[in-house]
Amino acid sequence: MEAAHNLVLESFLFGILGVNWENRIVFLNQALANRLGISREEWIGKPVEGLGGVIEPRLTHAEAFRSGLIWQHEADTFKSREVDFVEGDHLLQFREDSCPLRDGSGQITGRLFTYTDISRAKTIDRMKTEFLAIASHELRTPMTSIKGSVDLILSGFAGDISGETHELLDIAQKGCDRLIRLINDILDLSKIEAGQIKLKLAPIDLVEVVQVSIRGVKSLADQQKVSLRLYRPEHLPEVEVDRDRLVQVVTNLLSNAIKFSPAESEVRVEISTGDGWLECCVADQGCGISPEDLGRVFGKFQQLGEKKRGGTGLGLAITQALVVEHRGKIWLESRLNEGSKFIFRLPIGKL
């Protein structure tokens, strides 16, 4: 049976590496041996650390290989990360996935690593990002001009207009506003994904940022008949962030919470602090999110629920990307028909 398993593993085109509890190589398929330019037979049974001497000179981050092998205390988990690999004049990108290695009785005996070349997929993804950025940039100027002209006509600048004309122009104005929001969101996300966003870091008071954001969405909350409440401790340390970007994060979360809140309900913003971090929670009393949709919340162009609430479907993707840019983390806690909590955490101190 073991020979049959090895034959199956050997047939894969991506690299496979098996390591036992003693950190010795128990399996290394020919695809990985060919990629590394080594003899597979010579390495079976040798310490895996020695393989680092072959791999690490060709990595953009020297510790990337060894750090991925610190798995002894997490042997029953699945891990995935991306690794940059230099081959001649080319930079290749691989996804390293690892999982427990088990024997015939199901006992964990080590760990299995697989290496898949994702260079082409990454290149295509970059091309799509660049195309969206260029197209959005080219669209923004004419759309801004169209909106400006429609606004002027609606204001009476070009003379009186009939009620029917006013109604048609009002539809055009709303369409322009939605397109401009979409274009701006795509540009924001494209810049973040391309690593072109520049954070203007400065010490700020998180409470002041939340208060500014609340004022910015108050009219939307009033329209929806939703009340906004801020809960905070007396004394909070400052956090070093890009103030405008953090306002964008909180505003996105508040707008999202308001949209999914029933009339006469409350959206709560709770700020707390811990050892080395500040935390902000935006909680609503809305319809909640089903378990099967939880993993899609921060995806691009996602509109969850049977009833669509408008927006571009990019707000939460941008919010997550901005929090990560600040070395923070964001997550969701929600149950169907019991509301949702979006919580983000930022480190205290210099980034």
State the angle between helix axes of 315-325 and 163-193 in degrees (0 to 180), rounded to the nearest 10: 30
> Which segments of 47-162 does DSSP mark as H helices, in order?
49-55, 64-68, 119-154
Q: Are strands 15-20 and 25-28 parallel, antiparallel or unpaired?
A: antiparallel
Distance CA 42, CA 210 (A): 61
> Which residues lie closer than 8 Å to 278 by C-beta, 6 or more apart?
206, 236, 237, 239, 271, 272, 345, 346, 348
Specify the pTM. 0.60
What domains are defined for the chain?
A: 2-117 (3.30.450.20), 122-193 (1.10.287), 201-347 (3.30.565.10)
> Positive or negative, the Cα torsion across 8, 51, 49, 113?
negative
State the angle between helix axes of 119-154 and 163-193 in degrees (0 to 180), rounded to the nearest 10: 150
Distance CA 248, CA 271 (A): 17
What are the tokens at 218? 């108050």
Write out the chain's pLDDT in tens, 351 residues.
Answer: 355 455 555 555 678 888 888 888 888 888 888 888 888 888 888 888 777 777 777 776 655 555 555 444 455 677 777 777 777 777 788 888 888 888 878 788 888 888 888 888 878 777 777 777 777 778 778 888 888 888 888 888 878 888 888 888 888 888 888 888 888 888 887 777 777 778 889 999 999 999 999 999 999 999 999 999 999 988 888 999 999 999 999 999 999 999 989 999 999 999 999 888 999 999 999 888 887 777 788 887 666 554 455 556 788 888 999 999 898 999 999 888 888 999 999 998 765
Distance CA 245, CA 254 (A): 14
Residue 138 burial by Cβ neighbours in a 10 Å radius (0-12, 13-18, 19+): exposed
* R_g over Cα of the chain: 26
pLDDT on residue 4 = 45
Longest dimension (CA), the chain: 87
> Which residues lie closer than 8 Å to 192 by C-beta, 6 or more apart?
318, 321, 322, 325
Distance CA 106, CA 71 (A): 18
pLDDT on residue 12 = 59
